[in-house]
Structure 1
Amino acid sequence: MSQLWHQGAGELAGRIRTGEVSAHEVVTAHLERIEAVNPRLNAITDVLAEQALEAAKVVDRERKTGPLCGVPMTVKENIDIAGSATTHGVVAMREAIAREDAPHIGELRAAGAIPLGRTNMPEFGMRWHTDNALRGATRNPWSAGHTPGASSGGDAVAVATGMVPLGMGNDGAGSLRWPAQCCGVAALKPSLGRVGMAMRAPVPFAFQLLAVHGPIAREVRNLRLAFAHLCGPGADPWYAPVPLDGPPLPKHVALVTGDNVAAPIAEALWAAAAALTDAGYAVEEAEPPHLARASEIFIQIMLNHGRVHEGQTPVESIASADFVRFWAAFEPVWRHAAGTAAADPMAERATIARAWHDWMCRTPLVLAPIRTAPAFRVGEDLDPAWLADWPESMRAVVAVNLLGLPAVAVPVDATDGLPQAVQVIGPRFREDLCLDAAAAIEARAGRRTPIDPR
């Protein structure tokens, strides 16, 4: 029998429900795993041991049988957990204790999941490497010299190494899918309106439109399990109570490769395409409509509607020296990548969305890169010259955020010791189709986590 921390969320919940193991044993096993590996990785920043063990006792004493009963999970530091600080990775917010859970965390608790720890992220979630002045850097368990991704990097590392079977992060510009690629785990970026945002404090329009909460797991089936229990409304005006499954659609997939995809990513895409073909999907190469312009409109909305105050606190007064250096290098790249200013970005967004809708009526699923290159070496994102092509390398990611579409990141292969992953994109509210296709890829690619730090 494998150790408990090797097992996925569904398997653990099933064993707890039958009494084969106790929730207390499951939580204890994961606490021991955290103690063994987290000091080398710095993925979990605050271990909620006392609260988690107490919650496990309640599960065992009351013989709870929820679909996630006794399953430990981590929660990123920009998501509210009652009684814990929502720091956003910022020193000035280290005492920002939340009074109540975020809506989807409350939904997961109601299903039986147990928060076991808070996870690291870059300051404000605005860097693609997980590091900050409050908590320090998180290390990639596959290679300490490479980034674990961001901004949900702490959750990706915790899941990849067996510290928890589920991580709760969010994705406004690839923040679930990029660390999944770097760490070799699976992640689901849901559709806009699927998972209710709290909206207790003013939320910038850009983040209302472009960002969503979602899960990270080692297996696609456990993404599906978690997803089924985090779709409550909260106080979110964008929320839409749409069924989790829709009618069958043709098993047609558009394969997006492009001209500037690094060899390891191209190999991963073709391997995923072969897996889908073997599973009965029809796969053909295609080019998404208006992909470059979608990236530009995404950036324009972020630049123009990414804050709620007219004035802005100087970044150097609240962020680490490395973040200040990163932002000084990246901001001009970011502004240049915004392209020609739209008279009305939302009108252009609607035009692009209609073009994608028409395209996806013919090929409902899209197989595309996440980033078009593998995990970068730590520190490279501080180099202005290196950063110059970052927006182009992430076009297939931010188009998904702009259009509010679902996407699943699924690992495919490992090259030179680093994992690779691809994303399966679907029509809005058709996470079920993305998960089905990702599961078919996973079944043929195999599973390589949990791993010990290298």
Structure 2
Amino acid sequence: MTKSDIWRLSATDLTALTRSGDLSAEDAVQSSIDRMHQVNPDLNAVVEDLSTEALERARRLDEARAQGVPTGPLHGVPVTIKINVDQKGHATSNGVVALKDVIAPDDAPIVRNLQNAGAVVIGRTNTPEFSFRADTDNPLHGRTHNPWGRHISAGGSSGGAGAAVMAGIGALAHGNDIGGSLRFPAAANGAVTVKPGLGRVPAWNPSQRAERGLLAQSMSVQGLITRSAADLHLSMPSLIAADPRDPFHVPMPWGAEPMDGPIKVAFTKETFGYALHPEVDKALDTAREALLDAGYQVVEVSPPDAFDCGRSGYRALMGEVLTLLKSDIEAAGSDTIRDIFEVYFQEFPPITGTELIQMMAKRTHFAREWAMFMQDYPLVLSPFLPQPFFGPDRDTEGAEGVHEVLGCAVYSYAMNFLGLPAACVPARLADLPNGPQPINVQIAAQRLREDMAVDAAAAIESRVGQMCLPLWDKMHADSLTPKTK
């Protein structure tokens, strides 16, 4: 492999070379930076280029290794950070023009943990305004495009992260997820992710002026989007390192004792009245077959009602947003985001007042139902979305658009309300009229067992392959095709 192709390496393969000394951190970082400069102008995934400081850090890592300093588990791995999380000395704009000069006084826990493990931040990635869309566009930095083509949204809110990592800009991409913001971009771009469970990854922004609402605290999590499941096993132990600034972090190690006998997987194609597209149906069948071949016991059975749980949870979250954030959105948001929130409030009528307190209490009821079910079925394989991923700006097309984008995504935000981990992995490359498009499925897991969800994702990936490979072939072919005006 030439220096110019180093960016193709997974984080797992890359660290085997950087930690042994067969590859310098500087060369690893330089290759990803070169790739960023090559493809990012067309994608607009990275909106702050940190090449200079990244190369300086890489050289310091090489010098430290030469002096015998032990290397971290992510030594020299190029990563990106989403612009809604604090990185010291950089703006935490959250895609909002009014916040473009909010400079972080210190690193957020996830940034500190990544850098303590030896990772090198090469850029900061785009997000929609207030990080509250399943698509990525904002007046401050513009639209992020999907590397598969402009007919597919890049997803959101970690759309810049998903597009970047799949295009080869860094081996790992930071993102976060309050209702699907890691999994939507993974599904849009054909990446792999695991939404960690409640309390697994320490979180806090030193720049914030007030604490977030209770539901935002309990539903929002930090994580990574990757090109392979193995890279999640490599990197997640570093992410979950304790940080005292998050007083509710759960200091549990990554993984636990293997379960006796075949692991039982609850398998469902239930879409709660939404039409199940034939390509999603095929993806689910492929995922089931992959797990069966890997030794899992897959049983078609209905889990507890994800629709009631998910819709109740998102309506409660909208109640909190209405109470705590609506004034900020009205004051600092664009006409587009204000209009979208008005439709959100129609799709998910906000629960407020006494009813909101009652629903926050009922959250324990939903969580208990799932915990008891998952004693028998530690994993749940389900659709992520019932249809292939939607096009850009679908959520600006009134009630019908928001209904298609978020209304049908109950398996996504139900897991946030429950606080359960959920992986999202491609299980098919569909040949659709506009071109090839990845189809992802979701695997939910028992509380604190993110590792089991990632294991199952790895089994599916071993059958289907990594989606970055056909994507890179497509990107290369597209780059050779003359652009028409």
Q: Name the TM-score class by shorter chain.
A: over 0.9
Deviation at 1:272, TM superposition (A): 0.3
Question: Considering only aligned residues, what root-mean-square deviation do their CA atoms show, in Å?
Answer: 2.0
The alignment partner of 2:349 has SS state of: helix
Deviation at 1:303, TM superposition (A): 2.1
Counterpart pick for 2:449 among 408, 430, 434? 430
Counterpart pick for 2:266 among 254, 263, 266? 254
Say yes or no: does 1:101 pair with 2:113: no
Letter matched to residue 33 of structure 1: R
The alignment partner of 1:414 has SS state of: strand
Determine the structure 2 residue equivalent to 1:448.
Answer: 467
Deviation at 1:83, TM superposition (A): 0.9
Counterpart pick for 1:58 among 33, 56, 60? 60
After superposition, give the CA deviation of every residue in 1:366-416 in whole Å (9 maximum; x if it has no partner). 011112222112232211223235444111111110111111111111112
Counterpart pick for 1:239 among 241, 245, 249? 249
Q: How many Å separate the matches in 2 of 1:325 and 1:434?
A: 36
1:316-355 matches, cutoff 5 A: 317-335=331-349, 341=355, 344-355=358-369
Gap change, CA 1:193 and 1:314, over 3 Å in 2: closer
Letter matched to residue 106 of structure 1: R
**Residues 155, 188 of structure 2: 8 Å contact kept:** yes
Letter matched to residue 424 of structure 2: A
Gap change, CA 1:121 and 1:29, over 3 Å in 2: same
Q: How many Å separate the matches in 1 of 2:417 and 2:10?
A: 32
Deviation at 1:341, TM superposition (A): 4.9
1:51-450 matches, cutoff 5 A: 51-63=53-65, 65-198=71-204, 200=206, 201=208, 202-234=211-243, 235-249=245-259, 250-259=262-271, 260=274, 261-306=276-321, 309=324, 312-313=327-328, 315=330, 317-335=331-349, 341=355, 344-384=358-398, 385-415=400-430, 416=432, 417-449=436-468
Letter matched to residue 97 of structure 1: I
Gap change, CA 1:298 and 1:366, over 3 Å in 2: same
> How many matched pairs?
452
Range moving further from structure 2, 175-184 or 378-387? 378-387
Gap change, CA 1:238 and 1:199, over 3 Å in 2: farther
Q: How many Å separate the matches in 2 of 1:47 and 1:308?
A: 36
Letter matched to residue 312 of structure 1: S
The alignment partner of 2:343 has SS state of: helix
Deviation at 1:422, TM superposition (A): 0.9
Letter matched to residue 118 of structure 1: R
The answer to which structure has the higher helix fraction is 2
Q: Which runs of 5+ in 1 are unaligned?
A: none
Range moving further from structure 2, 343-352 or 267-276? 343-352
**Residues 296, 337 of structure 1: 8 Å contact kept:** no
Determine the structure 1 residue equivalent to 2:31.
Answer: 29
Q: Which runs of 5+ in 2 are unaligned?
A: 479-485
Deviation at 1:326, TM superposition (A): 2.5
Q: How many Å separate the matches in 1 of 2:54 and 2:16?
A: 19
The alignment partner of 1:354 has SS state of: helix
The percent identity for this pair of structures is 36
Say yes or no: does 1:40 pair with 2:42: yes
Deviation at 1:321, TM superposition (A): 3.3
The alignment partner of 1:344 has SS state of: helix
Deviation at 1:102, TM superposition (A): 0.6
Letter matched to residue 230 of structure 1: L
Letter matched to residue 165 of structure 1: A
Letter matched to residue 345 of structure 1: M
The alignment partner of 1:195 has SS state of: coil
Gap change, CA 1:228 and 1:314, over 3 Å in 2: closer
Gap change, CA 1:337 and 1:309, over 3 Å in 2: closer
